[in-house]
Structure 1
């Protein structure tokens, strides 16, 4: 089997998510997530992202990659671990509305931003999905949602229903405190390994002041227009979307092993060998002292 055939044999969801070019739309997904008032409140009140936003972003990406590339048993285990970690995340958003991280509408919104961003990447790359690929991708996305703990009634039944759901969500987004921080000072906080030295911190912030405003404009250029309007973001010059397109075309033109993140390359090899889809070095976290009965579920009931 050739490398191209290996690539085509891989699941659509994992094939695109594992590309380095996915990092072009990754910030877009995060921005859309925290533009939801309840998601923003949860991040503000229960996350240490202000201290090291880069570590938090990496952990989020790592968790999602392991979930996407896991086989059904491991995917379910990862989902239980993720839900257990969110069991105590609840509070009140800035509009005075109570929320809980395990509300299905919040889990669904976060999960939905990844699918929409991945589709944006395919269009940006000049290779929009065929109808068959889109249907396959949506089936795989629903499977990952079930691993997360979402139930059938929480997930739109088909892609057309998803599109309608997504359109209704965009107008409720807003310029939350998390959005303002991600578009401003948060990126100037250096990663922990850089911030250990004063020289590293100064260099990071100096470079950041020159580079990050342009990267932020690229992210804004890739947002859906209704979302940007709801967040009160001004339109950016079309050159920023063209820059993202050029970067995607360049990264996706690299040899397959180079344009893939390590987890995706390993998954393709495992798929060829008929082995587990979860990379060998991505151990499933265990809650050894926690009974399965204590793992919370995502339900429509009112959480405390």
Structure 2
């Protein structure tokens, strides 16, 4: 169990996590979270608002804590301690269970890397490895056991592929949330075309949601990426970087 806080977020992590375009890839992360049998019922049973209103508060707070220089473990425990119950098969779940917490964190890491690939500049292998190293420091700031945290980027990709293949399934809670995942109705993601949301889903999520490829989906995502790249070059910093990272 980690007992001391890590240093403040590295420059590479702060740059990518604070980039407002990272938020545009959140349907990919949330699409996977909703398919996790412990995360989906927690979202249904313990969130007083609709999915994307909840994610707006949670993700912006996550970015703030990731970029903070002080110990954030107490804030994480306070926010998650009460989130517990039983899943659709009667198994107990808790938001602070290390395996569950790690998977949720991993979906954001995956979305972060996806945002870099979509919006550029493209990460070299060395930069990707360093960004993941800084993501590990970010995770350790939560004060959750890091025993199962993959140490390197290749180890992370192996872990994430296996987790998506074996841990996810369509549950009653996931069924209840699917429409909100695929057609966001709040926050910045509500402006995304439905085709772009479909196209950015992880392959395993697309399988479980029963998404069949449509000719316009990839084109919609390319249009979002091109528009975001163009807008980013001329926008002032206050529009390019979320306040929580500044």
The TM tier, using the shorter chain, reads: 0.7 to 0.9
Q: Distance in 1 between matches of 2:160 and 2:112?
A: 14
Q: How high is the TM-score relative to the length of structure 2? A: 0.82
Residue segments in structure 1 that go unaligned for 5+ positions in a row? 1-9, 192-210, 268-278, 280-304
For 1:180, the equivalent position in structure 2 comes to 175
TM-aligned CA deviation for residue 185 of structure 1 = 5.8
For 1:36, the equivalent position in structure 2 comes to 36
Q: Which moved more, 1:172-181 or 1:33-42?
A: 172-181
For 2:201, the equivalent position in structure 1 comes to 223
Whether the 8 Å CA contact 1:28–1:219 is kept in 2: the answer is yes
For 1:64, the equivalent position in structure 2 comes to 62
Q: Distance in 2 between matches of 1:233 and 1:49?
A: 26
Q: Distance in 1 between matches of 2:228 and 2:242?
A: 15
Q: How many residues align?
A: 230
Indicate whether 1:257 and 2:236 are aligned: yes
For 1:48, the equivalent position in structure 2 comes to 48
Q: How high is the TM-score relative to the length of structure 1? A: 0.67
Q: Distance in 2 between matches of 1:118 and 1:188?
A: 19
Q: Distance in 2 between matches of 1:151 and 1:263?
A: 29
TM-aligned CA deviation for residue 125 of structure 1 = 2.5
TM-aligned CA deviation for residue 59 of structure 1 = 0.4
Q: Pairwise mapping of residues 1-304 of structure 1 onto structure 2 (< 5 A)?
A: 11-50=11-50, 53-71=51-69, 73=70, 76-77=71-72, 79-125=73-119, 127-171=121-165, 172-184=167-179, 215-229=193-207, 231-253=208-230, 254-255=233-234, 257-258=236-237, 260-263=240-243, 279=246
Whether the 8 Å CA contact 2:86–2:93 is kept in 1: the answer is yes
Rg larger in structure: 1
Whether the 8 Å CA contact 1:37–1:173 is kept in 2: the answer is yes
1:25 aligned counterpart, secondary structure:
helix
Residue segments in structure 2 that go unaligned for 5+ positions in a row? 1-9
1:224-266 deviation per Cα after TM superposition (whole angstroms, max 9, x unaligned): 212321x1422232432332232223222333635513427xx
Q: Distance in 2 between matches of 1:136 and 1:24?
A: 23
Whether the 8 Å CA contact 1:138–1:158 is kept in 2: the answer is yes
Q: Distance in 2 between matches of 1:18 and 1:124?
A: 16
Q: Distance in 2 between matches of 1:84 and 1:13?
A: 25
1:129-169 deviation per Cα after TM superposition (whole angstroms, max 9, x unaligned): 11221111111110110011233313111111111110111
1:174 aligned counterpart, secondary structure:
coil
Q: Distance in 2 between matches of 1:89 and 1:260?
A: 33
Q: Which moved more, 1:173-182 or 1:128-137?
A: 173-182
Whether the 8 Å CA contact 1:16–1:22 is kept in 2: the answer is yes
Q: Distance in 2 between matches of 1:61 and 1:110?
A: 11
Output the aligned Cα RMSD: 2.6
Q: Cα 1:245–1:67, aligned 2, differ >3 Å: closer, same or farther?
A: farther
Q: Distance in 2 between matches of 1:178 and 1:215?
A: 24
